[in-house]
Structures are given as structure tokens and as C-alpha cells.
Amino acid sequence: MADQVAHQHVRDVVIQQWHSYTSRYYSNEYLIARKFSARYSRQREVDMIRGIKFVGVPVRDQNVALKFYTEALGMKVMTDQPFTPQQRWIELKFPGADTGVTLFTPPGQEDRVGQFQSISFWCDDVFAEADALKRKGVKFTKEPATESWGTAAVFCDPDGNQFVLSSRK
């Protein structure tokens, strides 16, 4: 039987994602990329950076932006509270996502509003999602196109910030 099974590299197989020394979860991608072996103790990595919590999107009017990101894009409010006399701290996430977006413009960074933002949102079907977003009034500066590396489009928020909408891979 063994000679009938295709050979696999053992380094690409993850048996247990929870480690007994920590209460942290390690994704398959993370473990494979780090080439962890079963004997490796992650205890020394407790304080390592684990991911990106949120990215900031500079906006002019937080109320207009909040309506767009929740109603058009489908994000959920995680935090909306006073932050400075001029702005609130608004943190949003897509259901089930690890990384969120903050609708906040740091003082002195107002010139970043309306620029291309180095943020790429992903979906399963860029063409279908672009059509759905257009029906909600979202403007696209680049229509969906399939390239050798994946499918992508570029859309704008009400402030003119531009974002990529892409396939996962």
C-alpha cells in the first residue's frame, strides 16, 4: 500500500496548531512558512509580532465614511468612541477577519486623504463583487481584469481614497 501512495514532504504537514506551552493559535501557513518541526518549542516566540490588527484610512468626514464602509462594503463596527475633540476612533472589520480598518486621520496627515491607499481587499469573485458594489454606488477607477498573478480592480471611497479589490491568490 505504501508504494501506491503519492509521496509528500513531511515538512508541509501540520498535525497540531495549538501548542501546549502557549495559548496561541498558529495557522497552517505560518507553521509551514517557518518550517516548524514537531520538536520545536514556540515558548520563546510568545512576544513576537502576530499580525496586523488594523490599518488606517484617512477620511475627511467620519460619518460619511462610516456609512460607506458599513453599508456599501459590509464592514462591522468594532469600536466607535471619542478619541480627540475633533475625531472619533472608529475601528471596523469584515465578519471573521483578523485585520480591521480605522477611519481616522492623524493630525498633520490630512494630505493623505483622497490618495491611493496601499490596502488590498480580497474576495472570491472580483467580477461579481465589483458588480455588487457598483449596484451600491461604489465607483471603480479600474475595472476588474485577470492577470497572471490574479484578478484585481480598483475602487474609491467617498473621499477619493483608492483601494485594490483582488482575488485571494
Residues 41 and 64 in one domain: no
Cell output for 11:
515538512
Residues 41 and 120 in one domain: no
Q: Name the band, by pLDDT with cuts 50, 70 and 90, for residue 7.
A: very low
**Average pLDDT estimate for 61-66:** 98
Instruction: State the pTM of this model.
Output: 0.72
**Distance separating alpha carbons of residues 158 and 69, to the nearest angstrom:** 10
**Average pLDDT estimate for 75-94:** 97
Half-sphere exposure of 142 (CA within 13 A, CB side): 13
* pLDDT higher than 60, residue 121: yes
Contacts for 58 with CB less than 8 Å, ≥ 6 apart: 104, 105, 106, 109, 110, 112, 113, 115, 159, 161
Residues 26 and 92 in one domain: no
- Phi and psi at 145, nearest 5°, equal -145, 145
Asked whether residue 1 is assigned to any structural domain, the reply reads no
Residues 94 and 157 in one domain: yes
**Structural domain tally of the chain?**
2
Quote the pLDDT of residue 150. Answer: 94
Residues 108 and 143 in one domain: yes
